[in-house]
Amino acid sequence: NFDQHTTHLFLCSVLALGLMALWLTVVLTLACLGGLAAPGPVPPPSPAFRELIEELVNITQDQKAPLCNGSMVWSVNLTAGEYCAALDSLIKVSNCSAIQKTQRILSGLCTHKNTAGQASTMPIPDTKIEVGQFVKKLLSHLRCLLRHGKLP
C-alpha cells in the first residue's frame, strides 16, 4: 500500500513537472514570436531633419539680442504637420536673415501646403509669441519626437 501511494505520488509529480515544462515552452515560444513581430529599430532621422535641428540649435545658442528684433508670430499646434505649421507661422516674418535658412529647410520638409483653416496650422487663438520663443518651442518639440522615435 505504501509502495502504491509512493508510486502514485511520484507519477503525479512527474506529470505536474511535465505540464509545467510544456507550459513554460509555450510561454517562451509566444514571447519569442512576439519579439519577432515587435517593431524594429527606429530609422535614423533624415539629413534635412538633422539640418533643421542643428540650425535651430545655432539660432538659440548665445542669443543676446531678441531674435528678429522681437518680431511676433502666431503660436501654432505643432502636434500635427509640424513642418508646415511652423513654416506657416515663420514665413510671415520678413527681413530676418537669422531664420531664412530655417524657413528654407522647413519649406523643403513641408510636403504639402496646408489649406487655410486646417486644424494643424490654425493659430492658437490670440496667442502670439516672440520668434525666439517659437524657435525654442519648435526645437524642443522636434527633439521630443526624435527621442521617442516618432519622426514626421
Q: What percent of the chain is predicted at pLDDT more than 90?
A: 36
- Report the candidate in 51, 138, 62, 67 with the shortest Cα–Cα distance to residue 99: 67
**Range ranked top by mean pLDDT from 13-22, 89-98, 114-123:** 89-98
pLDDT, tens only, 107-134 = 999 986 554 444 445 555 568 999 999 9
**Confidence check: pLDDT of 1 > 70:** no
Longest dimension (CA), the chain: 102
**Which has more pLDDT, 14 or 147?**
147
**Confidence check: pLDDT of 30 > 70:** no
Rounded distance between C-alpha atoms, residue 51 and residue 43, angstroms = 16
Q: What's the pLDDT band for 81 if we cut at 50, 70, 90?
A: confident
Q: In degrees, to the nearest 5, what angle opens at C-alpha 63 toward C-alphas 46 and 120?
A: 45
Q: What's the pLDDT band for 49 if we cut at 50, 70, 90?
A: very high
